[in-house]
Structure 1
Amino acid sequence: MRLVLGAMLLISLDGMAADAPLRFVVPDSWAMPMMQFEQDRPTQGILHDLMLSLATQVGLPAEFHVLPRGRIQTAMEHGEVDVRCYVVQTWLTDQPGDYSWSIPLFTQPDLLVSRQASTAPINPADLSAQPIGTVLRYSYPTLQPLFDAKRLERDDARNQQLVLDKLLAGRNRYAVSNQWSLDWFNQRLLPQQQLKAVAELQELKLGCYVRNDPKLPVQRILGTLMRMKTSGEIDDIIRLYIGGEPKATP
């Protein structure tokens, strides 16, 4: 009987461990091709597919926690979520917490975008005082001095899709977008309607980080992300949504 009970306990513990989810934080400001939401639940997108594949290869079910951007770091610090992706390490230089970082997984430029092409790159410092389309709570280090000096003004929208919608509708002359979002947005437009990148503001090398918690398989998660990158799986996911060759990540 003792052996039977012991075996049942082991089976029960194994089942509990197998059912423990890997909890990913998802900003509610993401839009396609990063993430699509249906009734506030992630359903597809580059980062949805990456997270789902990562959890599957690690051997845990994926659980998505959709949060406002201002709540994300608190949730990580309090252990409410386990993994955050599509983030730059310098964004957290002043944040508490014990984390381990993946290798860089993506390279994304922040672009100044307009409805009209430019024969030469535009210097934002040369622009007349005007609103620039931006995403609420997003940081734009190269433009921040101009915002602080009131030479340019943020015109925030809830997500990148809405920023580009406003630009296309003529609400602004310029907006900021990452390359993926611009490519995705332009896919549905005729060539003469497509938005144009007129300057590169900065280049971001983004990855994922994991809470250093003994209950989490931290090294297995990081090792899996490295294999997904070096094998080309992550680039294949990106191509599925935006086509072409993703920009190399050194």
Structure 2
Amino acid sequence: MPLRRLLALLLVWATQSVAEQPVLRFSVTESWSMPLVRIEGDQPVEGLLYDLMQALAKEVGVYPQYHVMPRLRLQEAMDNGDIDVRCHVSTQWFNDRPGDFVWSIPLIRQRDVLVGRVGDSTPKPPEQLPPQAIGTVLGYTYSTLQPLLDQGRLRREDSRNQLLVLQKLQAGRYRHAVSNQLSLQWFNQGLPAQQQLQALAVLEEQDLGCMVRNDPAIPTQGLLRALVRMKQSGELERILQRYGGMGFSDPMSVARP
């Protein structure tokens, strides 16, 4: 058989195989940045959560389809049935349990930390901060800081994603910001010690997992069991380590509020 014809047949076979796979719609939040995800051309192309969702889709034999959207549109998309799986989410973020979605087991332990500029290594809880603007991500809720925000002692300066928050802090736009620990570690990697941003206090710790739409059209229980297998087999830990996530379960030697 001529090579050109063989390649054409393989392409047709691959296309048919993908077409026969059920589609699973994952939400991707615009405010995510590396190491969680890198978005290129309105689609995720790499990152911890991208690898997790790709591995999950492969485990259950579905074709992943990614819907990139602002964080503030996620609830509407869930209510309208526009997405099937939402990952990197905490039960603490909801006042009411979403009726059409089922929670997975906890997958990641996330720490939100107060971050200071280069050279600011003195541990300090947020209550000790003088009145000032603080770097935050648009659409994110910071329950630990909310009383200080309500009192006007702190003012939010929102950015589109976590990377921009840290870049503005580094550039001196404000004196302090909030970041998850993993993003801070990623931002600091490769920088000389004297140029690294500093974690000053742990603000909050949360268990994050995935939510799967409870619908007969998708393999809800199969997806939940697949996440359990990925955690038990060590596959999830290997993905975390790939992006510097080993510190998720290690205590941080910084002040706590």
Normalised by the length of structure 1, the TM-score is 0.89
**1:57-84: CA deviation from partner (whole Å, max 9, x where unpaired):** 1010111000111111111111111000
Does 1:118 pair with 2:121?
Answer: yes
Counterpart position of 1:142: 144
Counterpart position of 2:211: 209
**1:178-210: CA deviation from partner (whole Å, max 9, x where unpaired):** 011001100131111011100000101100011
CA distance in 1, matches of 2:83, 2:58: 17
Alpha-carbon offset, residue 92 of structure 1: 2.0
- Give 2:88's aligned amino acid: Y
Query: CA separation of 1:144/1:245 partners in 2, compared to 1, >3 Å: closer, same or farther?
Result: closer
Q: Which runs of 5+ in 2 are unaligned?
A: 1-15, 251-257
CA distance in 2, matches of 1:243, 1:98: 31
Q: Is this contact kept in 2: 1:112–1:199, CA < 8 A? A: yes
When structure 1 is superposed on structure 2, of 122-131 and 96-105 the one drifting more is: 96-105
CA distance in 2, matches of 1:17, 1:38: 24
- Give 2:104's aligned amino acid: S
Counterpart position of 1:20: 22
CA distance in 2, matches of 1:235, 1:246: 10
Q: Is this contact kept in 1: 2:182–2:245, CA < 8 A? A: no
Residue correspondences, number: 234
- Give 1:138's aligned amino acid: Y
Percent identity over paired residues: 54
2:228 to 212, 219, 226: 226
Matched ranges for 1:12-161 at <5 A: 18-94=20-96, 96-115=98-117, 116-119=119-122, 121-161=123-163
Alpha-carbon offset, residue 16 of structure 1: 9.4
Query: CA separation of 1:235/1:246 partners in 2, compared to 1, >3 Å: closer, same or farther?
Result: farther
Matched ranges for 1:174-189 at <5 A: 174-189=176-191
CA distance in 1, matches of 2:240, 2:18: 34
Query: CA separation of 1:147/1:167 partners in 2, compared to 1, >3 Å: closer, same or farther?
Result: same
Q: Which runs of 5+ in 1 are unaligned?
A: 1-13
CA distance in 1, matches of 2:166, 2:113: 12
Does the residue aligned with 1:32 lie in a helix, a strand or coil?
coil
- Give 1:192's aligned amino acid: Q
Alpha-carbon offset, residue 94 of structure 1: 3.1
When structure 1 is superposed on structure 2, of 184-193 and 128-137 the one drifting more is: 184-193
Q: Is this contact kept in 2: 1:77–1:97, CA < 8 A? A: no
Q: Is this contact kept in 1: 2:21–2:61, CA < 8 A? A: no
CA distance in 1, matches of 2:55, 2:141: 29
Alpha-carbon offset, residue 20 of structure 1: 2.1
